[in-house]
A and B are shown apart, each in its own frame.
Chain A
Amino acid sequence: MDCGGWNDPRNGYPMKKILRLSVNGKPREDAVAENALLIDYLRDTLGLTGTKQGCDGGECGACTVLVDSQPRLACSTLAHSLAGRKVETIESLSHEGNLSRLQRAFHEHLGTQCGFCTPGMIMAAEALLRTNPHPDRTAIRAALAGNLCRCTGYVKIIESVEAAAQEQSV
């Protein structure tokens, strides 16, 4: 049980501890403050600024990343809660300059305007397509219900996900 004296709060903190996990397919070992949020670890420590902070906590979905292929709000997760887990951010989707099918679909079907919600939308949609490669509109809307967009009115976003799913099935 890890509540011994060496990391007693009275001895001075925030205490940095070694965090081991996988980010975008690469194993990492970083000294991370115990109170660090996943979003700050990704953006500030790793420089992965594709993940966005859109609200003051838990409301907008802009910070959605994947943890073991499931969607997760990086702004409402402690980095140290994810020791040993597999984190994927928007940066992991393109390969050698080639966009993923979802990224391409959002680009071609105008699923993105200002772009601030887009990384979160695409990661939430990516999680959906991994478990349900042929979602209907209702399933797409349900999977994106927690992701807010102030620009598009959602219609183009849903069409983009549909287009990506169709491309995947051919």
Chain B
Amino acid sequence: MAALPDFQLLHPATASDAIRMRALHPGSRYLAGGTDLLPNMRRGLVATEVVIDLGGVDELTDLHEESSALYIGAGVTLAVIAANRTVQDRLPALAQAASGVAGPTHRVSATLGGNLCLETRCRFYNQSESWREANAFCLKLGSDTCRVATKSPRCYAAFSGDIAPALMVLDAKVEVLGPLGTRVLPISDFYRDDGITWLAMTPDELLVAVRVPLKTGWASAYEKVRVRGAMDFPLAGVAVALRRENNTIADLRIALTGVSSRPEFVNGLDALAGHPLDDTALAIITRRIKLGIKAMETTLIEVPFRRRITPVLAKRMVERLWEMVSTSLS
């Protein structure tokens, strides 16, 4: 494997230092745990002359409980998130997503910020330089054709982070710092449906933290399907949050990953409020999920499998959470 290209390494001590450095070097890249960025740089996927190491920015590792929310800094590692008691007890979807990312050694250094900003993936992109060259490269690497959809003007590389869908169903907000100050946005608005520019963050901004509301009465879960059970990106990942009132659905939120260029929040499920979880409701859930899947041939496993498995997984999870809530109520 190739050595890293030459670059200058900067070590900001604060978040505002980091964005000042970024303003001076617009083509620079932030380095957090490095488990995505460094392998990508070695494969020649990312070229930059300046790397800004966020490892010394202590404020990004802040994790604390507020009156009705959990504040998680972008630099908090996935191992710390997965082991946190509040996350385990009150935000199970987040705990399950964090403990399902990559392998245990990755999770010790992999951060929340790196996971949310994870580069989109495609079987024509995540390859060595010589492999990609032999295939005449593709849109995501500055060539003029997409190898997955040859007539497409856009890239369909799949967003494959596990944490984002969990945070979507948990209704989290992200905090972004830019030269003009801080802006807060719902996590769904943090993403764009494009394999090349999948983040709605401008290059001069830094993801600082996530705030996850600590609500009562909700059950949640995250599950994914992958090729290698021990350690792999999701072929399809599903997060579900459910609130049940007696025998009816009070609220149901579902979000997906791995099946589109952004994590997809499944729209239209609010229509189920007040209905029991019967076959009609499950059919609506399946239909709504299928509308949210925009999977393309970006993985070696073919699209029909990913399209079929996603609603099946979601259905099983919703039924399980439904039962769980009823036992906890009785």
Query: A166 CB to closest chain B CB, in angstroms?
Result: 22
Does A23 belong to the interface (CB within 8 Å)?
no
CB-defined contacts of A81 to chain B, threshold 8 Å: 31, 34, 53, 55
B3 touches A3 (CB 8 A): no
A49: interface (CB < 8 Å)? no
How close is A19's CB to chain B, nearest CB, in angstroms? 11
Q: Shortest CB–CB separation between residue B230 and chain A, in angstroms?
A: 4
Q: Contact: B4 with A58, CB < 8 Å? A: no
B106 touches A2 (CB 8 A): no
B35-A76 in contact (CB<8A): yes
A4 to chain B, nearest CB (A): 10
How big is the A interface, by class?
Answer: 35 or more
Interface flag for A61 (CB, 8 Å): yes
Residues of B within 8 A of A (CB): 1, 3-13, 17, 20-21, 24-25, 31, 34-35, 38-39, 42-43, 49-51, 53, 55, 102-106, 108-109, 128, 230-231
Contact partners of B105 in chain A: CB under 8 A: 61, 64, 71-73, 124, 146-147
A113 within 8 A of B: no
Whether the pair A145, B104 counts as a contact (CB closer than 8 A) is: yes
Additional A-B contact list (20), CB under 8 Å, known A61-B105, A142-B104: A2-B11, A3-B20, A3-B21, A9-B50, A14-B6, A15-B8, A34-B7, A35-B9, A35-B51, A37-B4, A56-B1, A56-B42, A57-B1, A72-B105, A73-B35, A73-B109, A78-B31, A144-B104, A145-B103, A146-B106
Whether the pair A34, B108 counts as a contact (CB closer than 8 A) is no
Beyond A146-B102, A146-B105, is A80–B43 a contact (Cβ under 8 Å)? no
Closest partner residue, chain A, to B79 (CB atom): A70
Q: B6 contacts A143, CB within 8 Å?
A: no
- Pick from B25, B49, B102, B230 the residue with the most CB of A within 10 Å: B230
Q: How far is the CA of A58 from the CA of B6 in the complex (A)?
A: 20
| Distance in Å: Cβ of B28 to nearest Cβ of chain A | 9
Per the bound structure, the CA–CA distance linking A58 and B105 in Å amounts to: 10
The residues of B that contact A71 with a CB separation of less than 8 Å are 104-105, 108
| 20 pairs, A vs B, C-beta closer than 8 Å | A1-B13, A2-B10, A3-B20, A3-B25, A13-B8, A35-B7, A35-B9, A37-B38, A40-B3, A58-B102, A58-B106, A77-B34, A77-B109, A81-B34, A143-B104, A145-B103, A145-B230, A146-B102, A146-B103, A147-B105
Contacts of B35 in A (CB 8 A): 58, 73, 76
B24: chain A residues within 8 A (beta carbon): 3
Fill in one digit per residue for A133-165: 1 if any B CB lies within 8 Å of its CB, else 0: 000000000111111000000000000000000
Q: A46–B110 Cα gap in the complex (Å)?
A: 26
- Asked if A96 CB lies within 8 Å of chain B CBs, one says no
Asked if A118 CB lies within 8 Å of chain B CBs, one says no
* A103 interface residue (CB < 8 Å to B): no
Q: Which 4 A-B pairs have the closest CB atoms?
A: A146-B103, A57-B39, A56-B1, A34-B9
Pair A1/B230 contact, Cβ less than 8 Å = no
The answer to whether B9 touches A78, judged by C-beta atoms less than 8 angstroms apart, is: yes
Contact A57 B103, beta carbon cutoff 8 Å? no
Cβ-based interface call for A94 (8 A): no
CA distance A55 to B128 in the complex (A): 12
Say if the beta carbon of A53 comes within 8 Å of chain B. yes
Q: How far is the CB of A145 from chain B (nearest CB, A)?
A: 4
Contact with B along A1-39 (1 / 0, CB 8 A): 111000111000111000000000000000000111100
Q: State the Cβ distance, A170 to closest chain B Cβ, in Å.
A: 27
CB neighbours of A73 from chain B (8 A)? 35, 105-106, 109
Query: Whole-angstrom distance from the CB of A50 to the nearest CB of chain B?
Result: 17
Contacts of B49 in A (CB 8 A): 9
B12 and A1: CB pair below 8 A? yes
